[in-house]
Amino acid sequence: MNRQAQAAVLFLLGSALLHAGLTDLYLRYVKAGLRPMLLAAGVVLVAAAAATVWYEWRARRQEPGHEAHVHPEPRVSWLLVLPLLALILVAPPALGSYSALRTGTALQQPYGYAALPADGPLRLNLVDYAGRAAYDHGRSLRGRQIKVTGFVALDGKGKPYLVRMALNCCAADAQPVKVGLTGRIPPVLRPDTWLEVTGTYTARRAKDPVNGGPIPFIEVSGAAPVPAPKDPYDETWNN
C-alpha cells in the first residue's frame, strides 16, 4: 500500500465515521454520549489523509524522482480496509432477544429514585421500572397505571419478557434488563417485536436462570406494537 492508497483509506474511513456520527447509525455501535468523540475521530482521520497527500505532493516537487525511491509499505497495512468495509457494508442490527436470553440480567440497585408525578399514568423507562419493582418493592408504583416499552423475548418454555439492552460504553458490552409479563398478555407474541405495555406493579418476581439476578414482573392490562426507538439501547442503568 503506497502513500496515496493510505491517504484514500484514511479519508474514506474518516468520512464513514463522520457519516455515522451525523446520522443515527452510530447508535448501533456506541452510546449517544460518545458522539462528539466519534465526530472528532472522523475529522482527525480526514485531516490526516489531507496531510498525507500534501506532504507526498511537496516531497515530489522538492525531490524529482522521489517515487522511484519509495519503499513499499507492509502488506499488513491493507488491514486498515477492514473497518472501512465494516462501516460501509455492514450495519449491524441492535442486539435482541437471542442475546438477551443467553445473558444474565444486568439490573443493579439504583443509588436513588427520582420523584414521580403525583397523579396520572406513569410512563417509565423499563430499567427504572425494574429497579423500583425489584429493589424499592414497588413503593412508588402501587396503585398507578404504568407504561413501559421494550422488545419481546420468549424463553425456551414460551414465557414472555419485555427487555431493554443496557449499554455501558458500546454495543459489545450491552447486557439485558428483563421484566416478566403476566396478566392480559397478547395471545401471539413475536420475539424482537417492540411493545408498549400498559399495566400495574406486581410483587411477583423470578430469578434469571443465567445469573440468578432478579426479574420483576408487570401485570399487563394492554399492549400495543410500536416502532423500534431511534436509540435501541438504554444508557440509564449505571448513571
What is the grid cell recorded at 5? Answer: 492508497
Residue 38 lies in a domain: yes
Helix (H, G, I), strand (E, B) or coil at 98: helix
In a domain, 24, yes or no: yes
Residues 137 and 64 in one domain: no
- Average model confidence (pLDDT) for the chain? 82
Q: Are residues 148 and 85 both part of a single domain? A: no
Please give the average per-residue pLDDT across 32-57, as a whole number. 78
Could you list the residue range(s) of the whole structural domain that residue 213 is in?
Answer: 97-234
- 73 and 108 part of one domain: no
> How far apart are the C-alpha atoms of 27 and 18, rounded to whole Å?
13
* Cβ 57 vs Cβ 120: under 8 Å: no
In one-letter notation, the amino acid at residue 143 is G
Q: Is residue 82 part of a domain?
A: yes
Check residue 92 and give its pLDDT.
63
Residue 217 covered by a domain? yes
Q: Are residues 70 and 122 in the same domain?
A: no
Are 13 and 79 in a shared domain? yes
Q: Are residues 149 and 32 in the same domain?
A: no
Burial class of residue 102 (count of CB atoms within 10 Å of its CB; 0-12, 13-18, 19+): exposed
Looking up residue 148, the CATH number of its domain turns out to be 2.40.50.140
- Write the pLDDT tens digit of every residue in 157-177: 899 999 998 877 666 677 899
Strands (E), 93-230: 122-123, 146-154, 160-166, 175-183, 194-207, 214-225
Q: What is the pLDDT of residue 10?
A: 77
What pLDDT, on a 0 to 100 scale, did the predictor assign at position 188? 87
Give the Cα separation of 18 and 189 in Å (integer): 38
Q: Can you give the pLDDT at residue 225?
A: 95
Tell me if 180 is assigned to some domain: yes
- 9 pLDDT tier (thresholds 50, 70, 90): confident
Q: How confident is the model at residue 91 (pLDDT cuts 50, 70, 90)?
A: low
104: in domain: yes
Q: Which residues contact 167 (CB under 8 A, 6 or more apart)?
A: 31, 173, 174, 233, 234, 235
Q: Which residue has the higher pLDDT, 78 or 145?
A: 145
Q: What is the pLDDT of residue 61?
A: 74
Q: Does 104 share its domain with 193?
A: yes
Confidence label for 231 from pLDDT (cuts 50, 70 and 90) = confident
Co-location of 153 and 209 in the same domain? yes
158/218 same-domain check: yes
On whether residue 81 sits in a domain, the answer given is: yes
Q: Is residue 89 over pLDDT 70?
A: no
The reply to whether 151 and 36 lie within a common domain is: no
Q: pTM for the whole thing? A: 0.70
Indicate the number of domains in the chain: 2
Query: Is the residue at 239 inside a domain?
Result: no
* Confidence (pLDDT) at 236: 57
Do residues 118 and 163 share a domain? yes
Note whether 206 and 229 are same-domain residues.
Answer: yes
Q: Are 205 and 173 in contact (CB under 8 A)?
A: no
Q: Indicate the residue among 89, 122, 142 that finishes a domain.
A: 89
Q: Is the pLDDT of residue 239 over 50?
A: no
Check whether 69 has a pLDDT greater than 60: no
Q: How many CB atoms lie within 10 A of CB 74?
A: 9
Compute the distance between CA of residue 36 and CA of residue 42 in angstroms, rounded to an integer: 10
Q: What average pLDDT does this structure show over 128-147?
A: 93
Q: How many CB atoms within 10 Å of residue 76?
A: 8
